[in-house]
Structure 1
Amino acid sequence: MPEGDTVWLAAQRMNTALAGATLRRGEFRLPQLAAADLTGATVTEVLPRGKHLLIRLADGRTLRTHFRMDGSWHIQRPGARWKGGPAHDVRLVLATDQWECVGYRLHDVELIPTAEEDRLVGHLGPDVLGPDWDLDEALRRLRSHPDEQIGVALVDQRNLAGIGNLYKVESLFVRRVHPWARVADVADLPALVERARTLMTANLHHPEQNTTGDPRRGRDHWVFGRKGRPCYRCGTAILLGEQGPTTQERVTWWCPRCQATGSPIDPQARTGEPGRPQPVTLYR
Structure 2
Amino acid sequence: MPEGDTVYQAARRLRESLAGRILTATDFRVPRFATVDLSGERVDDVLSRGKHLLMRAGGFTIHSHLKMEGSWEVYRSGERWRHPAFQARVVLRTAEAEAVGFLLGILEVVPRSKEQDVVGHLGPDLLGADWDADEAVRRVSARPDIPIGVALLDQRNLAGLGNVYANELCFLRGMLPTRPVAEADVPAAVDLGHRLIVANRDRPLRVTTGDTRRGRNTWVYGRGGQPCRRCGTHIRRTELGRTELEERVTYYCPSCQT
TM-score (norm 2): 0.97
1:75 aligns with 2:74: yes
Give the residue type in structure 2 aligned to 1:199.
L
Match of 1:2 in 2: 2
Match of 1:114 in 2: 112
Q: Deviations over 1:27-75 (max 9, x none)?
A: 1111111111111111000000110000011x22111000001110111
Q: Deviations over 1:218-257 (max 9, x none)?
A: 2110001111111111111100000011111100001001
Take 2:175 and 2:233, find their aligned partners in 1: how far apart are those partners?
Answer: 16
Q: Deviations over 1:129-170 (max 9, x none)?
A: 111100111111111111011101100101111000000111
Which blocks of at least 5 consecutive residues in structure 2 are unaligned?
none
SS at match of 2:217: coil
1:237 aligns with 2:234: yes
Contact conserved, 1:27 with 1:92, CA < 8 A, in 2? yes
Match of 1:274 in 2: none
Contact conserved, 1:9 with 1:207, CA < 8 A, in 2? no
Give the residue type in structure 1 aligned to 2:69.
D
Alignment of 1:160-179 (within 5 A): 160-179=158-177
Match of 1:282 in 2: none
In the TM superposition, structure 1's runs of 4+ consecutive aligned residues that sit over 3 Å from their partners are none
Alignment of 1:131-170 (within 5 A): 131-170=129-168
Take 2:237 and 2:15, find their aligned partners in 1: how far apart are those partners?
Answer: 38
Take 1:118 and 1:252, find their aligned partners in 2: how far apart are those partners?
Answer: 31
- Once the two structures are TM-superposed, the CA of residue 197 in structure 1 deviates from its matched residue by 1.5
TM-score (norm 1): 0.89
Take 1:216 and 1:129, find their aligned partners in 2: how far apart are those partners?
Answer: 24
Give the residue type in structure 2 aligned to 1:224.
Y
Contact conserved, 2:125 with 2:158, CA < 8 A, in 1? yes
Q: Deviations over 1:165-195 (max 9, x none)?
A: 0001111111111100000100x21111111
Contact conserved, 2:140 with 2:186, CA < 8 A, in 1? no
1:204 aligns with 2:198: no
Take 2:135 and 2:175, find their aligned partners in 1: how far apart are those partners?
Answer: 21
Match of 2:51 in 1: 51
Contact conserved, 2:68 with 2:105, CA < 8 A, in 1? no
Larger radius of gyration: 1
Take 1:67 and 1:78, find their aligned partners in 2: how far apart are those partners?
Answer: 23
Take 2:7 and 2:36, find their aligned partners in 1: how far apart are those partners?
Answer: 25
1:216 aligns with 2:213: yes
Take 1:135 and 1:176, find their aligned partners in 2: how far apart are those partners?
Answer: 21
SS at match of 1:26: strand
Take 1:255 and 1:88, find their aligned partners in 2: how far apart are those partners?
Answer: 41
Alignment counterpart, residue 189 of structure 1, candidates 177, 182, 186: 186
Identity %: 52
Contact conserved, 2:149 with 2:178, CA < 8 A, in 1? yes
Give the residue type in structure 2 aligned to 1:23.
L
Which blocks of at least 5 consecutive residues in structure 1 are unaligned?
261-284
Take 2:92 and 2:171, find their aligned partners in 1: how far apart are those partners?
Answer: 41
Match of 1:38 in 2: 38
Give the residue type in structure 2 aligned to 1:44.
D
Contact conserved, 2:141 with 2:186, CA < 8 A, in 1? no
Instruction: Report how many aligned residue pairs link the two structures.
Output: 257
